[in-house]
Amino acid sequence: MYINDIVAKWILSMKKIAIVTEGDIQLGMGHITRSLALAEHLRTCGLVIFVTHSPREIQDKIRNQGFEVMVDKDYEKSIQSFAPDVVVIDKLHVEEKLARFIRQYLACRLVIIGNVSSANQYAHLVVNAVIGAGLHNVRYQDIIYGTLYLEGPAYVVLRDQFYRLRGQYRKKSDINKILLMFGGSDPANLTCQILKQLFAVKDIKQITICLGLMFPHEDELRHLLELQNSRSSNFPMVHVVRDIKNVPYLMIQHDFLLTSAGITLFEAFCLGVPVLAFFQNELQRTIFSSYPFTMQDSNQPNVWLLMKQQHEHYEDYLDRVRPMESGQGVHEIVAAIAGQEATICD
């Protein structure tokens, strides 16, 4: 544990924290999911509100988890009206103008997550768990601007449930139950692409499809399920669930996970669940090209073979993901947001 975790939370307990984030069908839900996970870690520390202009469904999701939402495209105006002590920005391509405004005109601490733009020079803290980072975990300070950087998989922010269930997965003798989970919106419709391949495998007993809040391909998925059911008497049992809250429990109940290259990949690493991840777009392809267990093409005919190989060499899989320490730096992040050094206790 971190010896000043209590100190950091005591400091933040008197703070107002604004989280600026975005999500939609094209952007997906990655930023929203990560921001909500961080907010859960911070909600016992201070007053947390969200600032966003994401669609109504996403606004409601945030409110349903107990957080106030300010809806406005003018982030400068909204943040200034709230007068926060800490501003966390988690979105793609943070504008330098916004970051500069916060540092010059607001007496608050600025934290930027998942960004490599010039806006980072104005931040007190930058957390890049994936974008702009590699497979190794590093902590350093920019000697020119003084920005503290936390980079690498250890600084992926996961929900508390994943930490509680770490190590609870148990490998089964065969792959009978498969979980498909391709993000909050699945813009490339990997759900249907992969499902078509799995229907050709006779050994699969059950497929669970976990759809995200913004999934736009309902009609195509329904048609595919009806068509397969009419063609085959060996149709595997298929369950479809949407935007559920018990994701880690669902993961450890299955023998294998197929997902997008994003935060769900690190959730699987944390739990030790065998996983293959596919790219939704060129950005994911660029960011995750060096990561293990990612697939270049969802149309490859050997997906089932790769799943079997990974299942058979499960200990090798664990040997590759353990050094990443996925999500284990969350206490460092909370301490750094509070402006404290995170000293590790033996």
Buried/exposed code over 192-202 (b: 16+ C-beta within 10 A; e: otherwise): bbbbebbbebe
Calpha distance 199→257 (Å, rounded):
16
Question: Cβ contacts of residue 90 below 8 Å, gap of 6+?
Answer: 19, 20, 21, 31, 34, 35, 38, 112, 113, 114
Distance CA 74, CA 190 (A): 34
- Residue 303's identity, in one-letter code, is V
pLDDT of residue 298: 61
The residues spanned by each domain of the chain are 5-157+327-337, 162-324
Contact 118, 144 (CB under 8 A): no
Q: How far is 79 from 51, CA to CA, in rounded Å?
A: 8
Identify the CATH homologous superfamily for domain 162-324: Glycogen Phosphorylase B; (3.40.50.2000)
The answer to whether the beta carbons of residues 334 and 40 sit under 8 Å apart is no
pLDDT (0 to 100) of residue 20: 97
Token reading at 47: 């007053």
The overall pTM is greater than 0.75: yes
Judge whether 284 and 297 are in contact, CB under 8 Å. no
C-alpha distances in angstroms, 330 versus 2, 49, 247, 263, 334?
A: 10, 20, 19, 14, 6
Cα–Cα distance for residue pair 248/228, rounded to 1 Å: 29
Q: What's the pLDDT score for residue 104?
A: 93
DSSP state letter for 344: B
Question: What would the DSSP string read from start to end of 304-328?
Answer: HHHHHHHHHTHHHHHHHHGGG-TTT
pLDDT of residue 135: 86
Q: Distance (Å, rounded) from C-alpha 64 to C-alpha 21?
A: 16
Four-way CATH pick for 5-157+327-337: 2.40.37.10, 3.40.605.10, 3.40.50.300, 3.40.50.11190: 3.40.50.11190
Report the relative pairing of strands 68-71 and 138-141 from DSSP bridges: unpaired
Length of the chain, in residues: 346
227-241 as b/e, with b when 16 or more CB fall inside 10 Å?
ebeeeeeeebebeee
pLDDT digits 0-9 by tens, 74-133 = 999 999 999 999 999 999 899 999 999 999 999 899 999 999 999 999 999 999 998 877
Positions in the chain whose pLDDT score sits under 70 = 1-14, 232-235, 297-301, 341-346
Q: What is the pLDDT of residue 8?
A: 59
Per CATH, 5-157+327-337 and 162-324 having the same topology is answered yes
